[in-house]
Amino acid sequence: MENIDFFFVLRAWRSLADGLLVTLQLTVWANVIGLVAGFLLALISSSRFKLLRIPARAYIDFFRCTPTLVQVIWFFFCVPMLFNVFWTPLFMGLLALGMNLSAFNAEAFRASIQAIPQAQLDASVALGLSPWTRIIFVVLPQATRHAVPVLITNAIGIFQQSSLVALVGVADLMYQGKLLSTQTYRPIETMTFLACFYLAVAIPFSRLAAYLEHRSERFLGA
C-alpha cells in the first residue's frame, strides 16, 4: 500500500483529457440520436398500423433485451461484413450507443404520451390542428416534461456504457485509462481514478433526475 501513488495519474492528464473529449462526444451525440429517434419510435410503436408498430416494437425489444456490449461488438465486427461498409470505430460505437439509447428513450416517451389526457388531444383535433402540429405543439412538450427524469437517468447510463467502446479500439477515457494502466503497471490508481471520475459526473445528474421526478409528482398531484 505504501507504493500507491495517485499523483502520477494527474501527470498523464493530457492523454486522459483526449479520452474524456471522445467520451463526451459519444455521450452528447448518442443522446441527440436517442432523443430524436426515441420520440419517433414512441410514436410509431403506438401507431394503429401493425406494419409500423410491429417493427418498432421489435427494434425496441431487441436493444432493450440484449447486452450493450454485445451490440457494440456486433456493430463493430458484423456490420462491415454484412453490409460492406467500413466506418470509423468512433462512428460505429456512436451508432451502437445511439440506437441502444433510442430504444430506452422510446419507452419513456411512450409512457409519457399515454399519460397525456385524452381531452387535450380531442381539443387539438376540434381546433383543426394537423397531425404534425398536434405532435409538435401538444404531444411533444408534455411528453418531454413527464419523461425528463427517465431521460436524464438514461443519459447517465449511456455515459457509463460509453466505456464499452474501449473494447473495440475507440480511444475514449476508459481506453486511455487502460493504456496508462498497462504502460505504468499501476491499475489500482488508474482504475480507481476512473471510477471516481464516472461517479463524480453521474451523482449530480442522478440527483437532478430525482429532484425533477419529485417536482413532476408534486405538479401532477396538485
Per-residue pLDDT, 218: 63
For the domain 18-172, what is the CATH code?
Answer: 1.10.3720.10
Selected residue with higher pLDDT from 128 and 158: 158
For residue 14, name the pLDDT band (cuts at 50, 70, 90): confident
Residue pair 37/151 in contact (Cβ under 8 Å)? The answer is: no
> Using CA atoms, how far apart are residues 33 and 35, in angstroms rounded to an integer?
6
Per-residue pLDDT, 222: 47
> Using CA atoms, how far apart are residues 152 and 210, in angstroms rounded to an integer?
9
Per-residue pLDDT, 25: 94
- Per residue in 53-95, pLDDT (tens digit) is 999 999 999 999 999 999 999 999 898 888 888 888 899 999 9
Selected residue with higher pLDDT from 11 and 160: 160
Query: C-alpha grid cell for residue 79?
Result: 456490420
pLDDT at 46 over 80: yes
Per-residue pLDDT, 217: 62
Selected residue with higher pLDDT from 109 and 10: 109
User: Closest Cα partner for 27 from 192, 213, 204, 202?
Assistant: 202
> Using CA atoms, how far apart are residues 96 and 172, in angstroms rounded to an integer?
15
Rg of the chain on CA atoms, in Å: 21
pLDDT at 207 over 60: yes
The single residue listed with the C-alpha cell 383535433 is 125
> Using CA atoms, how far apart are residues 6 and 88, in angstroms rounded to an integer?
33
Residue environment code for 198-222, b if the CB has 16+ CB neighbours within 10 A, otherwise e:
beebbeeeeeebeebbeeeeeeeee
> Using CA atoms, how far apart are residues 32 and 3, in angstroms rounded to an integer?
44
pTM summary value = 0.88
Residue pair 112/154 in contact (Cβ under 8 Å)? The answer is: no
Q: Where are the domains of the chain?
A: 18-172
Per-residue pLDDT, 216: 66
In sequence order, what are the residues at sequence separation of 6 or more whose Cβ sits closer than 8 angstroms to the Cβ of residue 101?
30, 31, 33, 34, 38, 154, 155, 157, 158
Q: Of 5-9, 163-167, 212-216, which one has max mean pLDDT?
A: 163-167
Q: How far is CA 42 from CA 11, 203, 212, in A?
A: 46, 28, 22
Worst-scoring range by mean pLDDT, 23-32, 94-103, 141-150, 173-182?
A: 141-150
Q: How far is CA 93 from CA 1, 50, 87, 129, 164, in A?
A: 37, 31, 10, 40, 9
Which phi and psi angles does 119 have, rounded to 5°?
-60, -35
In sequence order, what are the residues at sequence separation of 6 or more whose Cβ sits closer than 8 angstroms to the Cβ of residue 66?
none
Per-residue pLDDT, 109: 95
Q: What is the mean pLDDT of residues 13-32?
A: 92
- Per residue in 145-204, pLDDT (tens digit) is 888 889 999 999 999 999 999 988 899 999 999 998 888 888 888 898 899 889 988 898
| Mean pLDDT taken over the chain | 88
Per-residue pLDDT, 170: 92
